[in-house]
Amino acid sequence: MRRLNWICALFWIVILLCAGCSDGADGGASGGSAGDEGSLRVLFAGSLIIPFAQLEEEFEAVHPDVEVNMEGHGSIQAIRIVGDLHEEADLVITADHQLIPMLLYGTKDPDSGLPYAEWNVIFATNRMALAYSPESAYADEVNADNWIEVINREGVRLGCSDPRIDANGYRVLMTVKLAEYYYDRPGLFSEIFGGVFRVPVRSAETDTGALITVPEILETKSGSHIVLRPYSVSLLPLLKSGEIDYAFEYESVAKQHGLEYISLPPEIDLSDQAYADTYAAVTVKLDFQRYASVKPEFRGDPIRYGATIPSNARDPEASELLLAFLLGPEGQRIMADNYQPMIMPAPADNFNDLPESIKAFCTPAD
Amino acid sequence: MFMSVRRLLSPILCLSAGVLLLGGLGLATGCSSDEGATGEGEGVIEVVGSEGSKTYTLDEIRDMPATEGYWGMKSSTGRITPPVKTKGVNLDDLFEEVGGLPDDQAVGIVAKDGYEMTVSVAQLREGKFITYDMVTGDENDVDGPLTAIVAYEWDGQPFDPQTDGPLRMAIVSPAQNQVTDGHWSVKWVSRVLVKAIEQDWVLTLTGKLTEEMDRPTFETGAAEGCHGTDWTDGEGNVWTGIPLYLLVGRVDDDNVHEGPAYNRDLAEAGYQVRIAAADGQSAEIASDAMYYNKELIVAYKLNGEALPDDYWPLRLVGKDMQESDMLGQITQIEALVPAE
């Protein structure tokens, strides 16, 4: 049964990626458009690959005149395709809603002079979890009480996504630092991440909390117990093959892929608004300026997915249809089917700027 | 439809195709340099090394020793560009005339629009790149060296000048058995440069004055022949840094660095020096303990290397100190000098 889950999950990954095969994000040139002309280009957080496969299929069944071209990326990367590379996209969805105002509100489309975005809908949430497979080392004994000790054991390999690219990556660093506080384990961050990178990831205490600094060069040393991949979903096949034993994943993704997982306490899983102040005690700073438009500093915050229709959308009307479909009963059902929690009505930043058809599913954000 | 398609799939097909998900980014862009070249034709790439910079024309690049191998890539959406014979100049050869590639540094590969990928020289030398099977997209391990080149020829032809530019970064292997993440394959490479690999830091010195001392300033002061001082611990480890009293001397009065900047009168009168670390810990040292004490230093190197993570960037070490008092991760030194 577990194998079947894997097969199904991988199939939907394939379908989505094939749909995105014509994108220009392959070392491609900046500017212009990418994706199939005439189709709706959706750039979305890779953690939504499974539900968005179903979303695409069901939407196209209802709207046969609209072809949807889904492209899953790391959230920073997804948004950078519009904000930095100035490529056209019809819908942008990130696993961190803060990326949209950070990267698109203040960046203008050179062709129109308009900001790439002026609103975003905060429509979904998630929880950080520690995923593993039945074949993982110590799978028969790991639990919510001993996971820290287990992932630090000799020979255990831990997968993490790249915090320079993927929202999940910087959230892993936050979760581990928060665990250090929550479990009163001084030095835990250093135990897990110390000495494994050629240029260290460092954590320092400041007046406002912990500041974790990620260097420009993030290369693991030979024999490191940390295995780094660009995106959190890139770690899934490694978990399955036994290349790694554990990986920090979103809980929805672990469920979708039939993985075993450890639920983490709300104080550290970045899910609960009630602990927003706790999460805010950790900040991750990228110690370089790779992306012209990225302010490379992320403060701990509850996981909230954001969606917007960029001002350079090729087909804004169809984009609205798709976003409304996502936020409406069909989308809610699809997301629930795939363990992806939603927030309804969805708080919207700059509510008054929303398209009318979207307002019905939203409420003004605080 | 959802379920029916699932049922139609064979496990092998699913598993083979599913791994197409894996992959790097693939957002590399760029164009050509405008700076004057050293030969005929338009300069296409500027090479900035430790001993200067030089701009080369495409013909000059072609005249350099060539490295050839198979290059292919996997885009962020899983699309695979199968490997084909690709020719170019490896980075060691490219930097030869501007000082070479130091082992402890990094290389920035910059495209026309400013997009930049940075990789350590150590990784280049090790050829340590994630590789994928050219058919399935699965991660694989390949034998033989992987070499980073600035390529000018692909499948026997120049790159498309409209889409790729004259030069493109490529990771090549001797055999046609792998592809690498697309983000390494920077298009329109216009500049490559040697970069420092260290992280910067700031030490805050406060007293009568306040100084934000950055890493280069500290390291200049800690140079041999300046204020650099070694102290060897009981296990034979050599710690290198600057005596604490000299750092305090920069802020204890209005004299930062002229003559004897350390105010002896104040020190003899007595005050405390509070040292704070990034992890929130702190320690205090009495002025008489550091009085012209060259065996009480703020160290930034251990046995010639940057300090390990637990102590980085600075650690107070010295004779007659307990190990527990040797505070690491120092961010601030505060001389509690009496107000005038």
Confidence of residue B161 (pLDDT cuts 50, 70, 90): confident
Chain A contact for B199 (CB, 8 A cutoff):
yes
pLDDT in the model for residue B78? 75
Domain co-membership, B265 together with B146: no
Domain co-membership, B160 together with B64: yes
Residue B148 lies in a domain: yes
Domain co-membership, B59 together with B146: yes
The string of pLDDT tens digits covering residues A103-136 is 899 889 999 999 999 999 999 999 999 999 999 9
Domain co-membership, B263 together with B186: no
Residue B259 lies in a domain: yes
Mean per-residue pLDDT for A76-94?
89
Chain A contact for B18 (CB, 8 A cutoff):
yes
Higher-confidence position of A127 and B252: A127
Which CATH number belongs to the domain containing residue B332 in this structure?
3.90.420.10
The string of pLDDT tens digits covering residues B41-67 is 789 999 999 999 999 999 999 999 999
The string of pLDDT tens digits covering residues B104-139 is 899 999 988 777 888 999 999 988 899 999 988 888
pLDDT in the model for residue B156? 95
Residue B14 lies in a domain: no
Q: Give the end of a domain, one of B129, B162, B195.
A: B195
Mean per-residue pLDDT for A274-290?
89
| pLDDT above 90 for A222 | no
β-pair type (A282-286, A209-214): parallel
Rounded distance between C-alpha atoms, residue A174 and residue A96, angstroms: 14
pLDDT in the model for residue B221? 83
Domain co-membership, B189 together with B207: no
Residue B270 lies in a domain: yes
How many percent of chain A have pLDDT more than 90? 70
- State how many domains chain B has: 2
Mean per-residue pLDDT for B203-210?
92
| pLDDT above 90 for A53 | yes
Confidence of residue A23 (pLDDT cuts 50, 70, 90): very low
Q: Give the end of a domain, one of B134, B163, B195.
A: B195
Q: Measure CA B278 to chain center.
A: 22
Residue contact A21–B73, C-beta within 8 A: no
How many percent of chain A have pLDDT more than 70? 88
Domain co-membership, B138 together with B169: yes
* CATH numbers and ranges of domains, chain A: 2-125+304-364 (3.40.190.10), 128-286 (3.40.190.10)
Q: Measure CA A350 to chain center.
A: 22
* A330 contacts: CB under 8 Å, gap ≥ 6: A58, A59, A62
Domain co-membership, B43 together with B179: yes
Q: Which domain holds residue B266?
A: 202-336
Domain co-membership, B184 together with B229: no
Closest CA to B168 of B88, B80, B92: B88
Average pLDDT, chain B: 83
**Residue B255 burial (CB < 10 Å; 0-12/13-18/19+)?**
middle
Residue B52 lies in a domain: yes
| pLDDT above 50 for B148 | yes
Q: Do the interacting molecules here have an ipTM over 0.85?
A: no
Rounded to a whole number, what is the distance in angstroms from the first to the last CA of chain B?
84
Domain co-membership, B296 together with B211: yes
Higher-confidence position of A79 and A150: A150
Q: Which residues of A touch B105 (CB under 8 A)?
A: none
Query: Which residue of B1, B14, B200 is in closest CB contact with A7?
Result: B14
Residue B10 lies in a domain: no
Q: Which residues of B touch A25 (CB under 8 A)?
A: 25-27, 75-77, 182
Domain co-membership, B206 together with B116: no
Task: Please state the pTM of the whole predicted model.
Answer: 0.76
Q: Give the end of a domain, one of B160, B195, B230.
A: B195
Residue B12 lies in a domain: no
pLDDT in the model for residue A6? 47
Query: Which residue of A14, A215, A234 is in closest CB contact with B17?
Result: A14
